[in-house]
Amino acid sequence: MGVRRYWGTQRIARMCQVTPATVANWIDQGHLKGHRTPTGRRRVETDELIGFLRAHHIDVPADLTSDGRDVVVVVEDDPQYLRTLLKHLQRSDLDAEVVAATNGMNGLLEIGRRLPSVVVMDYGLPDLNADALIERLKEPDGGFDAEVIVISGGLPEGAEERLRRVGAPTVLDKSVGFDAVIAAVRLALGREQPAR
């Protein structure tokens, strides 16, 4: 997971909607594996906390799985376009973790696992087109609330309207270039354009 992170009782209490004293009791009784610092504070490693939350059917906040950074999942089946877009995203000022998937099913798995802030997806995936994928993500009680950006080399008639209706407010033609995709991701993350 990169840098090992520890979480205190206050933060865990907010995640679980209990009191810090309850979290302290969980740690002391061995229900939640943690340790005490030399100053007596209780700390829990990220991986232990994620396991505990999942075992108790508590939603895992995105900042537990991404070191606090926003996560952007890119679902694209064209290897060259995907490679180039990933490079642009990683070199941008967004400071987001970027995760790739090459088809709709892998995209669904990564989205469920990483709980991204933004999903950038190609319209014409080999197994699911974007509107079908979005409909699956937006099913009631699915807990999906990421912004969706659809990119395409060309859409069939009526597709753009259908995409907006199912929950993709931003639809871009790939011909607009990578900077336009980065700008759309920045907007979806609620980030201001940096001053030049």
Q: Where are the domains of the chain?
A: 6-60, 71-188
Per the CB < 8 A criterion, the answer to whether 78 and 100 are in contact is no
Query: For position 11, what pLDDT does the model report?
Result: 74
Domain 6-60 bears CATH identifier 3.40.50.10470? no
Query: For position 5, what pLDDT does the model report?
Result: 64
Query: For position 65, what pLDDT does the model report?
Result: 66
The angle at the Cα of 172, spanning 166 to 175, to the nearest 5 degrees, equals 155
> What is the C-alpha to C-alpha distance for residues 30 and 146, in angstroms, rounded to an integer?
35
| All residues at 6 or more sequence positions from 32 whose CB lies less than 8 Å from its CB, including other chains | 12, 23, 26, 44, 48, 49, 52
The angle at the Cα of 169, spanning 186 to 86, to the nearest 5 degrees, equals 40
Tens of pLDDT along the chain (196 residues) come to 333 467 778 778 878 888 888 999 999 999 999 988 655 668 888 889 999 998 988 888 766 765 666 789 999 999 999 999 999 999 998 888 899 999 999 999 898 887 787 899 999 998 988 888 888 887 765 556 678 999 999 999 999 999 988 888 899 999 999 999 999 998 887 665 544 4
Query: For position 2, what pLDDT does the model report?
Result: 39
> What is the C-alpha to C-alpha distance for residues 151 and 59, in angstroms, rounded to an integer?
29
Residue 151 in 3-state DSSP?
Answer: strand
Looking up tokens 């033609």, which residue turns up?
173
Query: For position 192, what pLDDT does the model report?
Result: 56
> What is the C-alpha to C-alpha distance for residues 86 and 49, in angstroms, rounded to an integer?
30
What is the identity of the amino acid at 83? Answer: R
CATH number for region 71-188: 3.40.50.2300
DSSP-derived letter for residue 25 is: H
Question: Which tokens sit at 105?
Answer: 């099913």
Query: For position 8, what pLDDT does the model report?
Result: 76
Query: For position 19, what pLDDT does the model report?
Result: 87
Displacement of CA 132 from its chain's centroid (Å): 19
Specify burial of residue 54 (Cβ count, 10 A radius: 0-12, 13-18, 19+).
Answer: exposed
Query: For position 71, what pLDDT does the model report?
Result: 84
Query: For position 4, what pLDDT does the model report?
Result: 46
Query: For position 195, what pLDDT does the model report?
Result: 45
Query: For position 143, what pLDDT does the model report?
Result: 53
Question: Which tokens sit at 47?
Answer: 């991986």
